[in-house]
Structure 1
Amino acid sequence: MKIDILTLFPNMFDGVLQSSIMKKAQDNGVFQYNAIDFRDYADNKHNKVDDYPYGGGAGMVLMPQPIFRAVEAIEKNEVKPPRVILMCPQGERYTQQKAEELAKEEHLIFICGHYEGYDERIRQHLVTDEISIGDFVLTGGELGAMVVIDSVVRLLPDGLGNEASAKEDSFSTGLLEHPHYTRPAEFNGYEVPEVLRSGHHGKIEAWRKKESLRRTYVRRPDLLDNYPLSKLDKTLLQEVKTEEETKQKNNKTD
């Protein structure tokens, strides 16, 4: 995958994308990125990229010209048009499903803004996607772009080095992931569940599914509204609900 990032602060990306899994993914040829200062594409003497908003108001607005020219330069020799992603608090709420969708692309362009916002013509005539990583506002789109890039790259073939890891992540299955344990089997008096030490793969898988349903029911019950429960899932979920209700009653009694 090829990733181009339009930003006023290209160096911000090196710390994240040149470390850990992202660095290994690049070394293995999984993806390549280029952080581009779109100030270089401004057509004025001082490389100005923002101006006061028409109609008045606080803050500065990013001008269309530098960003349009930067994207045009990137797309110049492209056969297939890339996805052009605007990082914006007004955009679509980012999800694992969106990450999986973007991971199927060959080329992504991210636009990271600052100041008060973007000239509306950028939204209307240049971008294919507007993405928000949450209902809050950052000083710029760089941190959001890093989050999206990380979540997409780890889904690419050989992105993690273990394809099964991404498939079992929270949200990838539609549920939150089950609890994990490792050695030692006992620590400070707390023991790993016996079923996980049993070696019985069928029982382990059933335990994991039930605990995944439990964690989702307790922490994110909204996810269950659209999850296609199998007959076994329904049985396990009912057990979970009964156990959790009993636990709550016992806690009130105590």
Structure 2
Amino acid sequence: MQVDILTLFPDMFAGPFGHSIIKRAQEKNLLQINYINIRDFSRNKHRTVDDTPFGGGAGMVMGPEPLFECFDYLKSLRGDNLGRVVMMCPQGEPFTQDYAKELAREDNLVILCGHYEGIDERVREVLVTDEISIGDYVLTGGELPAMVVVDAVARMIPGVLGEAASAEDDSFYHGLLEYPHYTKPRVYRGYEVPEILLSGHHENIRKWRRRQSLLRTLERRPELLKEVALTKEDKKVLLELKKLLQDLDLQ
């Protein structure tokens, strides 16, 4: 995947994307990240990209000129079809695991990081295909949300993780929260690993993990269960778990 990030602060990405899985993905040429400094397309000597809003009001607004010219430059590199153009925006569609999987199917992705009070509406209307929010709160700019989106999407690209199953077991991948994990030592400070995980019986382990996943989802995010394709076995387990939780509440 080719990802072009349009930003006022390209140096912010060096740390998060220069380590761990994202770094290895770039070294393997599974992911190519290109940073474009929006200020390079400013036409004034101070390299400003913002101005006061028409109609008055607080703050500054990123103007259309540098952004449109930035996209002209990007088209000279990639061609007219830039693929999905994502603007990080608190008004955007909530970012989910399904959204990450959808974006991971793209060959090209452009991410626009806003600042100040916002971006001139003409940029949104003409250039942007997607608006994404990572939560119902406001940050100082779009760089941190862009990092979140790239990280989540990159995990879905084949070959980025060592095993495809690693991503598929993540919370939200199939709609449920992930089951608990354990590693060595078997006993630590008197706390033991569940015996079933040491049994070597793969089917029993699978059932235990699924039950734990259903339990965590029921306890912490029950609304997610409405969107999950549950098997007959799942439904039976859920009935047992709901009864168990009701009995605990009564005690």
Determine whether 1:45 maps to 2:45: yes
Q: Give the structure 2 partner of residue 22 of structure 1.
A: 22
How do residues 224-243 of structure 1 correspond to structure 2 at under 5 angstroms? 224-243=225-244
Tell me the residue number matched to 1:211.
212
Q: Name the amino acid aligned to 2:62.
A: L
Q: 2 CA distance for matches of 1:8 and 1:224?
A: 41
Which shows bigger deviation, 225-234 or 5-14? 225-234
* CA apart distance, 1:79: 6.0
Question: Counterparts of 2:62 and 2:162 in 1: how far apart (Å)?
Answer: 39
How far did residue 246 of structure 1 move? 2.4
Structure 1, 239-248 or 204-213: larger mean CA deviation = 239-248
Shift of residue 155, structure 1, vs aligned partner: 1.0
**How big is each residue's C-alpha offset from its partner over 1:107-149, in whole Å with a ceiling of 9 and x where there is no partner?**
1111111111111111111101000000000000000000000
Aligned residue for 1:5?
5
1:95 is displaced (CA, Å) by 0.3
Indicate if the aligned counterparts of 1:168 and 1:177 stay in contact, CA closer than 8 A. Answer: yes
Residue matched to 1:122: 123
What TM-score do the two structures reach when normalised by structure 1? 0.95
CA–CA separation in structure 2 for the residues paired with 1:197 and 1:247: 28
Residue number in structure 2 paired with 1:138? 139
Letter in 1 for 2:117: E
For residues 150 and 72 of structure 2, the distance between their equivalents in structure 1, rounded to whole angstroms, comes to 21
Aligned-partner Cα distance in 2 for 1:2–1:72: 17
Q: Percent identity?
A: 54
1:186-197 → structure 2 map (5 Å cutoff)? 186-197=187-198
The alignment partner of 2:185 has SS state of: coil
What residue number does 1:78 align with? Answer: 79
How far apart, in 2, do the equivalents of 1:110 and 1:127 lie? 9
Counterpart secondary structure, 2:159:
coil
**1:84 is aligned with what amino acid?**
V
- Residue 175 of structure 2 is matched in structure 1 by 174
Structure 1 residue 46 displacement after superposition: 2.7
Q: Secondary structure at the match of 1:117?
A: coil
Q: Is 1:104–2:105 an aligned residue pair?
A: yes
CA distance in 2, matches of 1:120, 1:29: 35
What SS is found at the alignment partner of 2:55? Answer: coil
Alpha-carbon separation, structure 2, partners of 1:86 and 1:79:
18
Gap change, CA 1:7 and 1:79, over 3 Å in 2: closer
Q: What TM-score do the two structures reach when normalised by structure 2?
A: 0.96
Which AA in structure 1 matches 2:40? D
Q: What are the equivalent positions in structure 2 for 1:80-95 lying under 5 Å apart?
A: 80-95=81-96
1:147 alignment counterpart? 148
Q: Deviations over 1:71-112 (max 9, x none)?
A: 121122426432111001010000000000000011111111
